[in-house]
Amino acid sequence: QVQLVESGGGLVQAGDSLRLSCAASGRTFTSTAMGWFRQAAGKEREFVAAISGSGGTTHYKDSVKGRFTVSRDNAKNTVYLQMNSLKPEDTAVYHCAARRYFQATVTSTESLYPYWGQGTQVTVSS
C-alpha cells in the first residue's frame, strides 16, 4: 500500500515562496514517476508538474514554468515542489500523486496516477 503525505503549505503573500514536500512510503520509490496537481475552490483538479523516477525528466504546466521546480530525493522517498513568485491564482489544495510501480515516465494525465495524498492548502494573498 502506497502512502503519500504532503506538507509545507500555508498562507503567503504574492511574490513569496513556498516549498511543498511529499513523503512516500509503502514500497520502493525510485522507479516511479511522481506528479503534483492542484485544485482551487470550485474548479477541477489540474496538473502542475511531474518528475520521472530518476529525476532526470520534468514536465510543467505552462503557467508555472520558470516559477515552480519539481525535484526528488530518492534516498528520502520524498518529492518537492519549490514555488517561487507565487500569485493569487496559485491558491489551491496541492496534491502529490504516484504512478504505478516501475512506471517511471512523466505524464500530465491524472488518470495514470492511482495513488494520491490528501493535499496541503496553499493560499496566496494579493
pLDDT digits (tens, 9 = 90+) for 52-82: 999 999 999 999 999 999 999 999 999 999 9
Q: How far apart are CA 70 and CA 49, in angstroms?
A: 7
Cell of 41: 475552490
Residue 73: all three cell numbers together: 530525493
pLDDT at position 89: 97
Secondary structure string (H, E, C) spanning the chain:
CCEEEEECCEEEECCCCEEEEEEEECCCCCCCCEEEEEECCCCCCEEEEEECCCCCCEEECHHHCCCEEEEEECCCCEEEEEECCCCHHHCEEEEEEECCCCCCCCCCCHHHCCEECCCEEEEEEC
Tell me the three cell numbers of residue 68.
Answer: 515552480
Instruction: Report the distance separating Cα 73 and Cα 76, nearest Å.
Output: 5
Q: Cβ-count burial of 49 within 10 angstroms (0-12 exposed, 13-18 middle, 19+ buried)?
A: buried
Alpha-carbon distance values, 78 to 7, 44, 126 (Å): 11, 26, 30
Per-residue pLDDT of the chain (126 residues; tens, 9 = 90+): 789 999 999 999 999 999 999 999 877 677 899 999 999 999 999 999 999 999 999 999 999 999 999 999 999 999 999 999 999 999 999 999 999 988 989 999 999 999 999 999 999 999
